[in-house]
Amino acid sequence: MIGTPARFALRMAWRETRGAWRHFVAFFLCVALGVAALVSVGTLAANLDATLGREARALTGGDLELRSAQPLGADAERALDGLRREGAATAVVSELAGMARNPARGSSLLVELKAVDAGYPLYGHVETSPAAPLGVLLAGRAGAAGALVAPELLERLGLGVGDALLLGGGRFTIAGILRREPDRATGFVTLGPRVLLAAPALATTGLLQTGSRVRYRTLVRLPEGASPRAGLERLARLVADPSVRVTAYDAAQPGLRRFFGQLASYLGLVGLASLLVGGIGVAASVATFVRRQLPTIAVLKCLGASRRLLVLTYLVQMLGLAIAGSLAGAAAGVLVQPALIRALAPFAPFALVPALDGATVVRGVLMGTLAALLCALWPLLAVAAVPPSLILRSDVEAGGWQARRPWAAALPIVAGLAALALWQAGSPRLGAIFVGASLAALVLLAALARAVVAVAHRLPRPRGLAWRHGLAGLRRPGGHAARVIVALGLGVMLLVAIALLEGNLGRQVALERKHEAPSFFFIDVQGDQRAAFGRLLAERAGTAPPLTPVVRARVGAINGVPVTRELIDRRTAQAPDKVWYLTREYVLTQAEEPPSANRITRGRWWTREDATRRARVSMEEEAARYLGVDVGGTLTFDVQGVPVDAEVMSLRKVDWQSLSMNFFAILSPGALDAAPATYIATARVPAAAETGLQDSVVAAFPNVTAVPLRAVLERVARVLDQIAFAVRFMALFSIAAGLTVMAGALAATRYQRLYESVILRTLGATRGAVARAFAVEYACLGAAAGLGGTALAAVLAWVVLRFVLDVPWALEPDTLAWGVAGTTMLALGVGFLGTFRLLGRKPLPVLRRE
Amino acid sequence: MSFVIVQVRDLVMRLPSGGRALTILDGVTLGVSAGEVCAVTGPSGSGKSTLLGLIAGLDRPTAGSIEVAGVELTRLGEDALARFRRETLGYVFQSFHLIPSLTAAENVAVPLEIVGVPDAPARARTLLAEVGLAARAHHHPAQLSGGEQQRVALARAVALGPRLLLADEPTGNLDSATGTQIIELLLRLNRERGSTLLLVTHDEALARHAGRVLRLRDGRLLNGGAR
């Protein structure tokens, strides 16, 4: 049984909404857009998470995985034998990059090779066309082993199923098309199309040579009922070599999880920004509504309604509208899933199916409802302060009464909104940054709006009617200028910031802009191929590039302390995304002179005497910081079982974006003389000559891998494009919310405009002249929002590039100009749509109504 | 001697206007007996409406006291005043002040709903029938004529059976024929309910219906209003 006040509030709320639903379209849309943004991202994130959890075994390829840069040692094999005796199944997968060639045409292509043994796959299945058992397809026919290739390879090399294919020095038959691998390792950017072959056939390619970069993965499927955790601990205990990474399926794919987690969390913040912009629309809409309701509120007070009853009534009304808007938004958020999934599908190594996640929908509706209520509260509290004596004045005009600002409520409202932001962001740090940035943007845009209104007020009165009335229009009572500038400005800020980030990142991956970057990296040149390779390059590229010796090694000890599994586990727990500094294979080289693009930040480069006395190393500063070594310390590199001790003599800052040959660790001359080295070289040739050079190098040296930088960068650019699409998609919600706020503000001033236009026309102004006056007002609003939003976007983009992505910042004048011009046009467009009908109204009926 | 339901003493009301204080009421003292029909007349700007509004507790006087049905209004807070209004008086405005988003019946039902009368809609319909508008119950104010709107306002004012009816130029926005009908209806409703009617008007013809006429000019009562 509900009490009298609640019953009255419910009844009045319903009647008021019924009578004024048009007024609440903007309110409803603002809430709906914000919630749609949040629910679309949330649903996607939940979907990804559920799929990752469900497919974890297939994604890992087994219950356990052992990953190493060298084939497993005897201790590991013994441990695996033990497991096999207990009923476990194993499969070995080797992954490396290599060159594929069309033997008929000689065209070549960098590919990602994956060699699997008979046990593969342990979980999931490999999708091929034709669909046939993997063993049959890979066995091949007519003396050549079979290879399954990605469709892209057939297209690029002009080959078809059944044709011959050269991989390194081995000849294969294309047995079918590789559609999907359950455990495809997910580097988001692949070097080239995927090729699957049988493990024994890999040896025929000649690609497994000293110094080749191979990833060995041994997959284990435990017998029914065995605990993966126990299996993991046992393997970790028995496998001494710390460079062998042992993981269980539930902790695998950490990179993928982190990537999706971060993407969802950033997209969620963009969604939250839409809700924030929508919140301005909600507050504006409620403020306008309260102004319109002043006579009703005064009458109700006259009839004996208490302040509390009235605030309750309007709160109930806003609650109902907020819930309705949130539900509609949630439905829209679920409906746009297919579009978002299409954008992100290329990253996901599994099929994503649009699915409804109840918790996300509930959370979105709750978030939308609470945010809308909090935003509505500020203008609603004015209801309490409306004096009933307002009714006695003959003109209960909206402009006549000014409510006191309920400042006491401001803090709880802001705190409530901040709490919602923290909830959405999921991390206090991210949430705090979001809240801080939003508050700063709000305050700055509001200050800008005030300044614009003040300047319009102080300017000498322009002579033309359009300018005079247009500028006067900015000072309309009700503060519509501030609302439009703040809301639209926020939306523009997001969209322009994204465009700036895209532009700057795009610059990073555009080869044409990298004047120093080579066209190719040639890797795995063997010692005995050096002379012939140099001759070929001199002939085809004009110059014989220097060949740099490289040796693969891992860090065996730091300052004499061995890198053990315990140390790695401990550091993983501290900073999982940086532990690769400790576990990775380093490519070492030795040099007499420091690379020109590097800057020594500590210590000094070695002299010839320094180098002859003992082995020295110059480390990249970030790596040194993580490893915990400084100038004077020692690093022990494990070069295929042989320890090489080197004293750290200098730290370097490396510009990785230069895309030239860069190294984490450079040793002093002589330090690596005894180690088995391969050679790498770079070449820069005109774009038109790239294919020819690659084909001739690969034909002459099938084991040499040519990494074409242009193609790799294009792949990176494609990935960036897809991410940008998803982010832009979310930002569009904020722009839509911003425009809704503007449309709402126009609707709120509609009667005033109508009256003005009628008066002006009665006094002899043409419709064109009135339209121009309105156009000046809209253009000023749009330009101010555009300028403010664009300026803030530049700051936001600079902060992200400088502090998050560590990418040099370049002002993109085109984007900035578009931000201002586009917003102005948009404001003119929306303004025109909102007012052109007013111009057609006959003056007399309007004046008579006055 | 009958009970004095309204007792106003030395009432002063000043409002700021253009930086100066404008005196609207200047030491008004008057009393109204229960059951009386009393009219306050005066030219426009003489302070009539302000006097009525203060008696309804819609605003706070600058000085003086207002006692209505034994309650000193100047001591009450805003919500207590709201409670006082719904328990004690009904108010009729010159410009009707119906709530535009509600139908005629809903407008009449509002005071009943505020106090939680269980069968508010039915009671509202009965009241509308009493003022001759049974057929217009579901129309919105914009669909009603001025006379009809004022009838709805009358029904709303008497809905809770107030002891005191305050009417502020109730015929001011109506033509004379309609005005006459409204005033007759107002007097009938007042008579039937045994309430007290305090009427503000500048229309001498309307004032003649009252048992006593008080004349206000420049914020002062010309003939003594005290009881």
Does the distance separating the beta carbons of B102 and A306 come in below 8 Å? Answer: no
pLDDT in tens, A261-312: 777 888 888 888 888 888 888 888 888 888 888 888 999 998 889 888 999 9
For B103, nearest residue in chain A (alpha carbons): A15
* pLDDT band with cut points at 50, 70 and 90 for residue A511: low
- What would the 3-class secondary structure string for chain B be? CCCEEEEEEEEEEEEEECCEEEEEEEEEEEEEECCCEEEEECCCCCCHHHHHHHHCCCCCCCEEEEEECCEEHHHCCHHHHHHHHHHHEEEECCCCCCCCCCCHHHHHHHHHHHHCCCCHHHHHHHHHHHCCCHHHCCCCHHHCCHHHHHHHHHHHHHCCCCCEEEEECCCCCCCHHHHHHHHHHHHHHHHHHCCEEEEEECCHHHHCCCCEEEEEECCEECCCECC
* Chain A residues closer than 8 Å to B139 by CB: none
A162: pLDDT strictly greater than 80: yes
Amino acid at A395: D
CB contact under 8 A, B99 and A307: no
What letter does residue A779 receive in the DSSP assignment? H
DSSP, residue by residue, A505-518: HHHHT-GGG-TT--
Residues of chain A contacting residue B106, judged by C-beta atoms under 8 Å apart? 15
Average pLDDT over residues B130-136: 92
> Using CA atoms, how far apart are residues A269 and A283, in angstroms rounded to an integer?
21
* A9 to chain B: closest CA residue: B114
- Residue B35's φ and ψ, nearest 5 degrees, are 85, -10
B100–A302 CB contact, under 8 Å: no
**pLDDT band at residue A395 under the 50/70/90 scheme:** very low
Select from A20, A387, A391 the Cβ nearest to the Cβ of B101: A20
The reply to whether residue B58 touches residue A391, judged by beta carbons under 8 angstroms, is yes
Q: Does A465 touch chain B (CB under 8 A)?
A: no
- Structural element, H or E, at residue A15: helix A4-19
Residue A750, phi then psi, degrees to nearest 5: -60, -50
Distance between CA atoms of residues B7 and A680, nearest Å: 107
Q: In this complex, do A303 and B156 lie within 8 Å of one another by their Cβ atoms?
A: yes
Give the C-alpha separation, B133 to B137, whole Å. Answer: 7
> Searching chain A, which residue's CA lies closest to the CA of residue B166?
A302
Average pLDDT over residues B120-138: 93
Asked whether the beta carbons of residue B116 and residue A8 sit closer than 8 angstroms, the reply is yes
Q: Is the Cα torsion angle B22, B28, B34, B35 positive or negative in sign?
A: negative
Segment A768-774 mean pLDDT: 87
More confident residue, A244 or A143: A244
pLDDT (0 to 100) of residue A187: 53
pLDDT at A848: 65
Mean pLDDT across A381-387: 86
What average pLDDT does the structure give for chain B? 89
Spatial contact of A642 and A675, defined as CB atoms under 8 Å apart = yes
SS3 state of residue A45: helix
| Chain A residues whose beta carbon lies within 8 Å of the beta carbon of residue B149 | none
Q: Would you call B49 and A392 a contact, using CB atoms and an 8 Å cutoff?
A: yes
Question: Mean pLDDT, chain A, as a whole number?
Answer: 86
Provide the ipTM.
0.87
For residue B144, CA distances in Å to A364, A607, A824, B148, B167 come to: 45, 103, 45, 6, 20
Tens-place pLDDT, residues A197-234? 999 999 888 888 877 888 899 999 999 888 888 888 88
Q: Is A188 helix (H, G, I), strand (E, B) or coil?
A: coil
Closest CA of chain A from B162, distance in Å: 11
Q: Hey, are the CB atoms on A296 and B101 less than 8 Å from each other?
A: yes
Question: Which single residue is written with the structure tokens 């005995």?
Answer: A528
Residue B156 has pLDDT above 70, yes or no: yes
| Cβ-Cβ contacts under 8 Å, A309 against chain B | 114
Q: Do B113 and A7 touch (CB under 8 A)?
A: yes
Query: Residue A850 pLDDT more than 60?
Result: no
Can you tell me the mean pLDDT for A651-656? 87
d(CA A725, CA A740): 22
Where b means 16+ CB within 10 Å and e means fewer, B45-65 reads ebbbbbbbbbbbbbbebeebe
Closest CA to A719 of A499, A505, A454: A505
A2 in contact with B at a CB cutoff of 8 Å? Answer: no
Q: Which residue of B has its CA nearest to A18?
A: B101
Nearest-CA distance from B1 to chain A in Å?
31
The confidence band for B78, taking pLDDT boundaries of 50, 70 and 90, is confident
For the ranges A282-286, A726-730, B23-27, which has the lowest average pLDDT? A726-730
Q: Give residue A179's Cα distance to chain centre.
A: 26
Residue A398 in this model has a pLDDT that exceeds 50: no
Q: Give Cα separations from A113 to A199, A345, A439 (angstroms).
A: 11, 22, 51
pLDDT tens-digit readout, A472-481: 888 876 677 8
What is the pLDDT averaged over residues A84-95? 93
Asked if residue A736 has pLDDT above 60, the reply is yes
Question: Are the beta carbons of A29 and A325 closer than 8 angstroms?
Answer: yes
pLDDT band at A252 (very low <50, low <70, confident <90, very high): low
Nearest CA in chain B to A3: B116
Cβ separation A394–B78 shorter than 8 A: no
Task: Tell me the mean pLDDT in the region A417-442.
Answer: 86
Q: How confident is the model at residue B100 (pLDDT cuts 50, 70, 90)?
A: confident
Query: Per-residue pLDDT averaged across A619-625, rounded?
Result: 93
Residue A392 to residue B50, Cβ atoms within 8 A: yes
Q: Can you name the residues that pair with B7 across neighbouring β-strands?
A: B31, B67
- Beta carbons within 8 Å of A641's beta carbon, 6+ residues apart: none
- In Å, what is the CA distance from B143 to each residue of A18, A294, A298, B101, B149? 17, 21, 22, 11, 9
pLDDT value at residue A514 = 62
Task: Using DSSP, state whether A126 is helix, strand or coil.
Answer: coil
CA distance B101 to A778: 32
Least confident of A19-28, A391-400, A566-575: A391-400
Q: Nearest by CB to B85, which of A3, A8, A304?
A: A304
Q: Residue A299 and residue B97: Cβ atoms within 8 Å? A: yes
The Cα of A785 is separated from the nearest Cα of chain B by a number of Å equal to 36
Tell me whether residues A295 and B97 touch, CB distance under 8 A: yes
A309 contacts B114? CB cut-off 8 A: yes
Tally: H helices and E strands in chain A: 28, 21
Looking at chain A, the whole-number percentage of residues with pLDDT higher than 70 is 95
pLDDT of residue A186: 53
The yes-or-no verdict on residue B155 having pLDDT over 90 is: yes
Indicate yes or no: CB of A302 within 8 angstroms of CB of B111: no
Q: Mutation target for A interface from B44, B89, B99, B160: give the one with most A CBs within 10 A.
A: B99
Residue in A92, A82, A40 with CA at minimum distance from that of residue A61: A92
Instruction: Find tokens 């949630």 and name the residue.
Output: A330
Q: Determine whether the interchain pair B102/A15 forms a contact, defined as Cβ–Cβ distance below 8 Å.
A: yes
**Rounded mean pLDDT of A237-246?**
85
Residue length of chain A: 850
The answer to whether the beta carbons of residues A35 and A325 sit under 8 Å apart is yes
- The vertex-A117 CA angle with A111 and A119, nearest 5°, equals 130
Predicted local distance difference test score (pLDDT) of residue A397 = 42
Q: Which of B78, B100, B110 sits opposite A303 (nearest CB)?
A: B110
User: What is the Cα–Cα distance from A352 to A333, expressed in whole angstroms?
Assistant: 16
Partner-chain contact B56 A305, CB within 8 Å: no
Enumerate the residues of chain B whose CB falls inside 8 A of the CB of residue A392: 49-50, 53, 58-59, 168
Q: Which of A7, A11, A18, A303 should one mutate to test binding to chain B, selecting the residue with the greatest count of B CBs within 10 A?
A: A303
Tell me whether residues B115 and A392 touch, CB distance under 8 A: no
* Residue type (1 letter), A785: A
Shortest Cα–Cα distance, B43 to chain A (Å): 16
Given this model, what pLDDT does residue A602 score? 93
Spatial neighbors of B143 by CB under 8 A, at least 6 apart, are: none
- In eight-state DSSP terms, residue A106 is -
Q: What is the pLDDT of residue B227?
A: 66
Could you count the other beta carbons within 10 Å of the beta carbon of residue A804? 10
Whose CA is closest to A652, among A616, A599, A603, A595?
A: A599
Strand, helix or coil for residue A410: helix
Q: Which two tokens stand for residue A628?
A: 């915990």
Residues of B in contact with A20 (CB under 8 A): 101
Mean pLDDT value across residues A151-175: 92
A142 has pLDDT over 50:
yes
Q: A849: pLDDT confidence band, cut at 50, 70 and 90?
A: low
Residue indicated by tokens 């895209």? A502
Residues of chain B with a CB closer than 8 angstroms to some CB in chain A = 49-50, 53, 56, 58-59, 78-79, 81-87, 91, 93, 95, 97-102, 106, 110-111, 113-116, 140, 156, 168
Please answer yes or no on whether A304 and B115 come within 8 Å at the CB atom: yes
Cis-peptide, bond into residue A121, ω within 30° of zero: yes
Quote the crossing angle between the two packed helices A480-508 and A254-302, to the nearest 10°: 170
Confidence of residue B1 (pLDDT cuts 50, 70, 90): very low
Q: What's residue A751's pLDDT?
A: 78
